[in-house]
Amino acid sequence: MKAAAFAYARATSVVNALELLAMHGDKAKVLSGGQSLMPAMNLRLLSPDILVDIGGLAELRGITVRGDLLVIGALTRHVDLLRSPEVALHARLLRDAVAHVAHPAIRNRGTIGGSLAHADPASELPACVVALDATIVVRGSAGERRITATEFFRGIYETALLPDELLVAVEVPVAGQASTFFFQEYARRHGDYAVVGLAARAVVAAGRFSALRLGFFAVGDRPLLAAAAGKLIDATVTPALLAEAAAALADELDPQEDQQATAAMRRHLATVLLRRCVAALLARPELETGVGK
Amino acid sequence: MNAPVPVSLLVNGEPIDAFVLPRLNLADFLRENLKLTGTHIGCEHGVCGACTVRIDGEIVRSCLVLTVQAQGASVETIEGLSDSGEIADLQAAFRERNALQCGYCTPGMLITAQDLLKHVSVPDRRAIREHLSGNYCRCTGYQAIVDAVEATAMTRAERGA
Ligand SMILES: Cc1cc2nc3c(=O)[nH]c(=O)nc-3n(C[C@H](O)[C@H](O)[C@H](O)COP(=O)(O)OP(=O)(O)OC[C@H]3O[C@@H](n4cnc5c(N)ncnc54)[C@H](O)[C@@H]3O)c2cc1C
Ligand code: FES
Ligand code: FES
C-alpha cells in the first residue's frame, strides 16, 4: 500500500523543527531515516497531516568524545555506528548490536534517534542504551531535558518524549579499560527483529562481577534492566547461584506471546542467554552447560 | 497541504527537475514518472528488497524514501548500473548459473550484491548470505544466487591480482 496524503516541511534547523512541531502538535511526525515511519505510513497504520523532515540537520549528526561521555547525535545512522572508531573503542556494545539491526540498505538510512524514539520492544539499540546507562537528550521549545535510558522507555512504542520535543543526542559513559560487553539475540533470520535478546555491560575483577547491567529485549513492553543481575555482583558465581539468578530472571520477565514465540519460550531463551552471557564474561564455559537446578 | 513540491536530483547521472506530491515514494517516481521500471515493487514496507537503488553511492530501499527526500541527491537504478557496464560480469554470472527465474528480485539482488563486492573483495558464502538477507527471492532457493556472487568475486579478484 501507499501512504495517505500529507504535507512536507524540510526543517532548516533544530529551532525551526521545534517551531514546526509546536505549530502542528500531534498532527505532525518527525521524519529521520524513515525506516520505521514510512513502513507504518505505507501500511496506513499512521497518517500524520505533516512530516517534519529533520534529515538534513548537520547539527544532529556525528559522534564525539566529550570528557568521559561519548555523545552520539540523533541522526547518526546505524551504518555510522558500525564503522565508527570511537564507538568501537568506547561503546563496542553498540557496534556488536547494530550488526543485527535489519539489513545493509536499511542500516544506510535508519538512525539511532529514530530507533530510540520508535521504541519497538524487540529493537536492539534501546536495550543497549539501558545496559550502557546512557542518557537521552531531548529538546523542546522550553529547553533541553536529560532522561536516563531506564526512564525514557515507557511501553510499546511509548517513550518520555512529548509530541513537540526532539530527541537530539545520546550520551554514553565511555567504557573504562575494565568494561566488557556481551551481545546475543535469537532471531528467525539474520537482520530480523529478535525473538529474545540480551545486551550486557560488565566489570569483572578477580573472577567476580563488580558491575553487571543486563538489558533484555523482546521480553516485555520495553527493554528490561534485569534486577536478577544483582545476585551475581560481588559474589563467587557457582552453578547454584547462576540457577538462582536464572529463576529470579524468569520471574521478573513479562513476555508477550506472538507468532514468533510463546511467553514460556521467551522466558526459557532469556535464561539461556543469561547463562551464556555469564559464562562468556567470566570466561568459564562450564557455567553455560552446567545447568544446576 | 498536499501541494506538489519542487525537487531536483540526478538519476543515473542525468539532472531531473520535477514537481511531486510529498507522498510519492522514490520507487513510484522512478517507475511512473521516469519509466525506469527495472526498479521493482514487492512489499512497499522495506521487507523484500526488490526496490533497492543507490543514493549517493549507498544502497537504500526506494519504497521507504520519499522523492522529496532525494532533493539534491544522486540516484542510480539498475538501468544505470547496467548501461555503464559496472555489473556486466555479475549479470553474466547470474545468467550462467540460473540465479534468476522470474527475475522479479534480480535488480535488487544485483545492486545489493554489487554493494557487497565493492566493500569486500572476496566475501565468503556466509557474508554473501548475510548481505543479501534483506532481499527475498521466491524462485531460486538462493543457492544459485550465492554461487553467482561468489564466482564473480573470485573472477574479479583474479583479474585484479
Ligand atoms: C525490513 C526492516 C527490518 C528492520 N529490522 C530491524 C531490527 O531488526 N531491529 C531494529 O531495531 N530495527 C529494525 N528496523 C527499523 C530500523 O532500525 C529503523 O531505522 C529505526 O527503527 C528507526 O529509525 P529511523 O531513523 O528510520 O526513524 P523514522 O522511521 O524516521 O522514525 C521512527 C519514529 O521515531 C520518530 N522520530 C525519529 N527521529 C526522531 C527524533 N530525533 N526525535 C523525536 N522523534 C523522532 C518518528 O516520528 C517516528 O515516529 C527494521 C526496518 C525495516 C524496514
Ligand atoms: S518494495 Fe521496497 S522493500 Fe519491498
Ligand atoms: S527469480 Fe523470481 S523472485 Fe527471485
Co-location of B62 and B12 in the same domain: yes
DSSP class per residue in chain B: ----EEEEEEETTEEEEEEE-TT-BHHHIIIIIS--TTS--S-SSSSS-TTEEEETTEEEEGGGSBGGGGTT-EEE-HHHHHHTTTTHHHHHHHHHTT--SS-SSHHHHHHHHHHHHHH-SS--HHHHHHHTTT---SSS-SHHHHHHHHHHHHHHHHHH-
Domain boundary among A128, A144, A172: A172
CATH of the domain at B77: 3.10.20.30
For residue A206, give the C-alpha cell.
578477580
- Domain contains A62: yes
Give tens-digit pLDDT for B7-16.
999 999 999 9
Tens digit of pLDDT for each residue in A105-159?
Answer: 999 999 999 999 999 999 999 999 999 999 999 999 999 999 999 999 999 999 9
Task: Choose from B1, B19, B43, B61 for mutation: most chain A CBs within 10 A.
Answer: B61
- Kind and range of the H or E run holding A246: helix A239-252
Q: How many domains does chain B have?
A: 2
Q: Where a domain ends, among B47, B81, B115?
A: B81
- Write down the ipTM of this complex: 0.96
pLDDT value of position B21: 97
User: Does B52 touch chain A if contact means CB atoms closer than 8 Å?
Assistant: yes
At residue A276, the pLDDT reads 97
Same domain, A97 and A112: yes
Report the chain B residue with the minimal C-alpha distance to residue A105: B60
| Backbone φ, ψ for residue A115 (5° rounding) | -65, -45
Sign of CA dihedral A183, A185, A190, A193: negative
For residue B156, with 0-12 CB atoms within 10 Å meaning exposed, 13-18 middle and 19 or more buried, which class applies?
middle
Ligand having the closest approach to the CA of B109 = 3
Instruction: Enumerate the residues of chain B whose CB falls inside 8 A of the CB of residue A35.
Output: 46, 61, 64
pLDDT digits (tens, 9 = 90+) for A179-222: 999 999 999 888 888 999 999 999 999 999 999 999 999 999 99
Residue A231 sits in a domain of what CATH number? 3.30.390.50
Q: How confident is the model at residue A177 (pLDDT cuts 50, 70, 90)?
A: confident
Give A262-285 pLDDT, tens digit per residue: 999 999 999 999 999 999 999 999
Q: For A223-258, write each residue's pLDDT tens digit.
A: 999 999 999 999 999 999 999 999 999 999 999 899
In a domain, A2, yes or no: no
Domain count of the fold of chain A: 3
Q: Which residues in A lie closer than 8 A to residue B129 (C-beta atoms)?
A: 190
Query: Do residue B104 and residue B77 come from a single domain?
Result: no
The CATH number that applies at residue A42 is 3.30.43.10
In this structure, are B38 and B64 located in the same domain?
yes
Domain span holding position B101: 87-160
Q: Are residues B46 and B13 in the same domain?
A: yes
Q: Which residues contact A85 (CB under 8 A, 6 or more apart)?
A: none
User: Where in the sequence is the domain holding A78, given as residue range(s)?
Assistant: 58-172
Asked if residue A159 and residue A88 are part of one domain, the reply reads yes
Task: Look at the pTM and tell me if it is higher than 0.80.
Answer: yes
Whether B127 has its CB under 8 Å from any CB of chain A: the answer is no
Residue A118: CB within 6 Å of ligand 1?
yes
